[in-house]
Amino acid sequence: MKELLPGDPERLGPYEIRSRIGTGGMGVVYLGRSPSGRLAAVKLVRAEVAGDEEFRARFRREIDAARQVSGAFTAAVLDADPDAAQPWLATAYVEGPSLRERVADAGPLPLTEARRLGSGLAEALTDLHRVGLVHRDVKPGNVLLAADGPRLIDFGIIRSDTLADLTDTGYVLGSAGYMAPEQAAGEHTGPAADVFALGAVLTFALTGRGPFGVGSAATLLLRTVNSDPDVSGVPDELRGVIQRCLAPDPVDRPRDRDLIAMLAPDAEPLPEWERPPRADPAPRPAMTRQPPQNSQNTGNTGNTGNTMPRPAPIPLARYGPGREAARLHPSTPAAPYPRATNTWAGSNPPRIAGPSRRALLGWTSLVGVVGIGIGARDCGGPHADTNAWGAPSSSYANPYTYLAPSSSDPTAGRPAAGPPQMLWHTTAVQGAALDSLGSAVALSQTDTTLYAVTKDGLAGLDRKDGSGRWAVTDAAVKPGTGTGHHAPLAEKDAIYLLSGSTVVALTPAAPPAVVWHTDAAGLSGPRLLGRAGASLVLYQSSDDGTSPQRVLVLDTVKRTVQWTLGLGPRDGVALTDDGLLIRAAAADKKVCAYLPADGRLVWSSSYPDPPIGFATVIAAGGRVYVDGSTIAVFDAKTGTDTATTSYGSYVLVAADSQTAYALDSSVGSATLFVAFEPGGTDRWRKSFENWQPGKDCAYLATPKALIVASPETHRVTALNAADGTVLWEWEEQLQNAWPAEAGYSLAADAGFLYVGASSGIYCFSISG
Catalytic site residues?
137
Q: How far is CA 211 from CA 229, 331, 451, 731, in A?
A: 5, 11, 40, 29
3-class DSSP state of 237:
helix
Calculate helix-pair angle for 99-106, 191-207, nearest 10 degrees: 20
Which one-letter amino acid corresponds to residue 195?
A: V
384 φ/ψ angles, rounded to the nearest 5 degrees: -80, 65
**CA separation for the pair 160, 58 (Å, rounded):** 9
Calculate helix-pair angle for 111-130, 236-245, nearest 10 degrees: 20
**CA separation for the pair 92, 415 (Å, rounded):** 54
Q: E strands within 508-575?
A: 514-519, 526-532, 535-540, 550-555, 560-566, 571-575
Burial of 733 (0-12, 13-18, 19+ CB in 10 A): exposed
Q: CB atoms < 10 A from the CB of 653, how many?
A: 31
Helix (H) or strand (E) holding 426: strand 421-426
CB-based contacts of 653, cutoff 8 Å, min separation 6? 333, 336, 363, 365, 370, 616, 661, 662, 663, 697, 699, 706
219 φ/ψ angles, rounded to the nearest 5 degrees: -65, -45
Q: How far is CA 677 from CA 62, 138, 299, 488, 616, in A?
A: 51, 42, 10, 30, 18
Q: How far is CA 764 from CA 33, 371, 761, in A?
A: 51, 27, 10
Under 8 Å between Cβ of 288 and 642: no
DSSP state of 383: T
ω into 315 cis (within 30 of 0): no
Which one-letter amino acid corresponds to residue 605?
A: S
